[in-house]
Amino acid sequence: MIILFGGFISKLRINCMSVARDIMSKKLVTLDSTVSAAEVAKIMDKNNVSCIVLTKDDKSQGIVTERDLLSKVIVPNKKSSEIMAREIMTSPITSVSSQTPVDEVAQKMIDKKIRRVIVIDNGQPLGIITVTDFVKHLNTILLDSENPKAELYQNLIDDYERWNN
C-alpha cells in the first residue's frame, strides 16, 4: 500500500519500508583468502573494523571476525603468521541482497544468532549490516515522531527499563 498525499509518496511509508541498502555500512574490507591470520588482524586494526570478507577471484568465500581470531588463533595459542585466513574463516557467508527488507535482515540475524550480514548483489559485496547499524536505524526511527514504529519501539524500551528496575 502506498499512501499518496498531494502527489507525494508519504515520508511515513518510505521509513517503514527500509531495505538493506538504506542501513548498510559501505565500509567493507576484503582480502584475498590466501593471506595469513596475522595479516587479517593487522588490516582489521588498521581499518578499525571487526571483520574482513575473504575473496577468491573477486567472489566472497568467507568472513573472518574478531571472534574467529580469538577462538581459533589466540585461545589455542597458535602462531597467527602460520595460519591461513581461509583456515579460520566462517563459510558460507550469510548474505542478503541490497533490496531485502530490514525486517527480514533482522530476522535472519536473530535466527542464525549472528552479529553481521554481508550485502551482496550479483555476487559482489556492496556493504555490511552490523548490530550497530540496526541501533543507528532504531535511533532514526525513534527521533522521527511521525513514524508509527517510533511509539512501539519507545514502549518496548520503557517496558525493558521497568522490568530491570
pLDDT value of residue 48: 93
Domain assignment present for residue 1? The answer is no
pLDDT value of residue 30: 93
Domain assignment present for residue 11? The answer is no
pLDDT exceeds 70 at position 164: no
Residue bearing the bigger pLDDT, 99 or 155: 99
CATH number of the domain enclosing 86: 3.10.580.10
Give the burial class of 119: count Cβ atoms within 10 A of its Cβ; 0-12 exposed, 13-18 middle, 19 or more buried.
buried
- Backbone φ and ψ of 123, nearest 5°: 80, -5
Domain assignment present for residue 111? The answer is yes
Domain assignment present for residue 78? The answer is yes
User: Domain range holding 43?
Assistant: 18-163
Count how many domains the chain has. Answer: 1
pLDDT value of residue 149: 67
Say how far apart CA 95 and CA 4 lie, in whole Å.
33
pLDDT exceeds 50 at position 51: yes
pLDDT exceeds 90 at position 24: yes
- Helical segments of 26-74, H only: 37-47, 66-69
Contacts of 164 by beta carbon, 8 Å cutoff, 6+ apart: none
Percent of the chain with pLDDT over 70: 77
Say how far apart CA 155 and CA 165 lie, in whole Å.
15
Q: How confident is the model at residue 9 (pLDDT cuts 50, 70, 90)?
A: very low
